[in-house]
Structure 1
């Protein structure tokens, strides 16, 4: 029997281990939605495109749905996952007043909290689902009106508690159920804060349950990162470590990094990312770690015929770069050889990215400590105000990068560091604090 290409996502062990029942597929669907929303935060769609599913290694889902459940992917995501809603959105309740105030709440969050459309869409779907359940359980959906009648307080609370029980029974995970409960509760908290209702009918409702919710990804330890670097045998593997732990990119973002994002003519060299998709990450990261590996990998790629410029091009025709699943498997393979595990399981790129954000947070703390020293000299009490008003945004970013580099310097072995003379010991701009 001829071996199929290893990089074909349809042939991975993970696919063979998938269950075909809808409960298992719901869990997988939620994971896919998380990847989709992370990759496409500004998309008006509620669920992934067929092309995205194929490019990111999830094409087998379409086969299972079609062959085992006579279901298409749009039907699956709309009916069985938190994607909810459709184009030309439908509220599944009849009470016009409640629908109107829910729309007002969502628009207010966009205006006051800068919610992206994807965030608004997700919360709308969850609130809609909870209100529909309330209507079915209580008899109608006029909950906003009822929350102004103190005599109904106990029975409203009991109704929402029953909704919480049913959500935990029906959702793929406690985490998914909690997101529905929390979205609806925040809606009622806003109604109470703005004096639109007399009492919050879901007050403390989350405390009624024990939620089996996974915490934020555990970051890799310093020792684990060092072990990964030492174990890496190729430039490609070293770039995996740098990409996820130092650049802090998403799993599927690293393979698509393009040669045009590198600025080797600057000192130090840099890689730039689209800041709209970086959340609170650095939009520009200095190549002080793994520079030799990056340059060598790019040189190797450039010698390949028909190279398209991506760091991890796909060997499959019609696909420009490896999908997120393939990149994850490459990183996990390195972790297996280095014996790097988190809670007994092989580590994944998200654990490297978690380390990146922890280091970034530490760098912010370093910046505040220096601002505190300056504030003390000037007789000011608040280091945050010194940081925000004494320093320009450009200087804050520059200092933050300096502290970030310094902390990463303590993590990576010496052979990973490119000594360009740019570090805390050489950055004269820190004299501004003295």
Structure 2
């Protein structure tokens, strides 16, 4: 297919990723390119697909490097040498200072800091593309520039309004940019005004209206039958474990991508995966209620490889040694698509699987409460869940919840509770 016949501007980001997998990578392979090596813009030109770079920049606010990361290739840069791609040293220094302050004073996790960096970089790059240079720090040093700068900032958010689908994402971008300007005024004392201070209450109030209050949200989740259908499309143990990690363990897609054998504690009767300080909600562990047998089988198989780096989902094409979070999403959606599963008219993502885990756990808690409801009535308690802890004791209540949870997960994954119990007793 000739590149000049491709309607790049008509393709969504998801369609570009699909086009990459279906058309571009095979063309690179036919041209002799090693797909384990990150392709360059020149490589794409040689196979006639150089137009994707301009399409990404113009229509999705994304660099070619960022896109390649989203389809599974490693980054060419480290976190310590993040490429802002705005060529304005003052702005870059202030942005980095803001993120360091947020990490140190507010105790934000690395995951949260990276998310803020990504959103601020998107704002900065769009600003540079629309206004020539990303000098939005210098332009707030005097109030004389306020009318023009307010307009420049509004133009950037107008563009973000067109690019981003989620009102929540738009609000996150606005919140981070507003926090950055507040930092420039109150901490650094280098800005005399905030050009986006009134955006939320005026022009972009529609984003707030379109974003439900957290207490009123009803995010969609997979149903048990849908999980069972997705599992049925898994062709190998790696696919099954990816679904297990999201739907049976409740992990985020980034956590799934980087799972390492050192995180798993399987030597006692409380199998779990342990997370360090970098986790979004802080350090802790997640109990593996189901799927331990599959996990052990996968780890044994990987350990037989000559150059295994310890990751549950390794990738030789990635500098990190493991697949990317976007690869987790793409694989999960592929399995769901093959299973014919849709949620509210859309192909589900790992987040829908994570919500299935939460809903299933809540059902387990409520089921256990129902078992002791008669005790609650005798005690005059309006909430049977309180009685669960008092009547059974904390340890016994935890065991009962896990049993109910394990039965529900067995129903979804089509396995055997007895085999899981046997595996756990053997370890104990």
2:61 alignment counterpart: 26
CA shift for structure 1 position 246? 0.9
1:246 counterpart = 2:248: yes
What residue ranges of structure 1 are gaps of 5+ in the alignment?
33-51, 63-71, 91-102, 142-159, 187-200, 424-434
> 1:135-185: per-residue Cα shift (whole Å, max 9, x none)?
89x9799xxxxxxxxxxxxxxxxxx9x999767514243724433666899
CA shift for structure 1 position 4? 4.8
> 1:183-217: per-residue Cα shift (whole Å, max 9, x none)?
8999xxxxxxxxxxxxxx99976995266669886
2:363 alignment counterpart: 362
Distance 1:238 1:328 in 2: 14
Distance 2:234 2:159 in 1: 44
1:227 counterpart = 2:262: no
> 1:296-352: per-residue Cα shift (whole Å, max 9, x none)?
222221221122222122224854222233333333333333233445554332322
What TM-score, normalized by structure 2, do the two folds share?
0.56
Distance 1:388 1:84 in 2: 52
> Structure 1 residues 120, 224: CA separation in 2 closer, same or farther (over 3 Å shift)?
closer
**Given the alignment, which residue of 255, 258, 261 partners 1:259?**
261
Q: Check the 8 A contact 1:56/1:323 in 2, yes or no.
A: yes
Distance 1:366 1:77 in 2: 55
1:169 counterpart = 2:142: no
2:127 alignment counterpart: none
Secondary structure at the residue paired with 1:86? helix
Alignment of 1:105-254 (within 5 A): 168-171=157-160, 172-173=163-164, 175=167, 176-179=169-172, 208-209=205-206, 218-254=220-256
Q: Check the 8 A contact 2:365/2:385 in 1, yes or no.
A: no
Q: Check the 8 A contact 1:229/1:241 in 2, yes or no.
A: yes
Distance 1:207 1:16 in 2: 36
**Given the alignment, which residue of 84, 95, 115 partners 1:86?**
95
Q: What is the number of residues matched between the two proteins?
A: 343
2:73 alignment counterpart: 57
CA shift for structure 1 position 278? 6.1
> 1:58-94: per-residue Cα shift (whole Å, max 9, x none)?
649x9xxxxxxxxx96434899xxx99523449xxxx
What TM-score, normalized by structure 1, do the two folds share?
0.55
Q: Check the 8 A contact 2:70/2:326 in 1, yes or no.
A: no
> 1:219-259: per-residue Cα shift (whole Å, max 9, x none)?
22222211122222211121111112111222232243222
2:328 alignment counterpart: 327
Distance 2:277 2:367 in 1: 23
